[in-house]
Amino acid sequence: MIRHIVLFWLKDPNPTLVAETVDILCSMKGKIPGMLTLDAGADFAHSERSCDICLCETFETREALETYRTHPVHLPVQAHMHAVMARSQSADYEVL
């Protein structure tokens, strides 16, 4: 099982855009083969170390993660994220 985590910092982290973006991320749930789980949420701590939004997904295999990257459901979500984010950080690892 593979875990894919992405932290997003938005260009304009206003509450409306953050909520809309979380909804857009969650719209992929259950629509991509090999994706087992998807959770996304807005940070509530607002500390200097915090991101604005966290996305956490679990995939069956590394191949499923690669399929996700170019899946037609993911591409418009990715385009939205590129338009609104200032930066992101991610990590992919095998769940033991």
The fold adopted by the segment(s) 2-94 is: Alpha-Beta Plaits (3.30.70)
* Alpha helices in 1-96, H assignment, sequence order: 15-26, 62-69, 74-84
Q: What is the pLDDT of residues 5-30, one digit of tens each?
A: 999 999 999 999 999 999 999 999 99
Q: What is the pLDDT of residues 73-83, one digit of tens each?
A: 999 999 999 99
**What predicted TM-score, i.e. pTM, was given to this entire model?**
0.95
What pLDDT score was predicted for residue 77?
Answer: 99
The domains of the chain are located at: 2-94
User: Which residue(s) pair with 54 in the sheet?
Assistant: 7, 41
What pLDDT score was predicted for residue 75?
Answer: 98
Q: What is the pLDDT of residues 46-61, one digit of tens each?
A: 999 999 999 999 999 9
What pLDDT score was predicted for residue 45?
Answer: 96
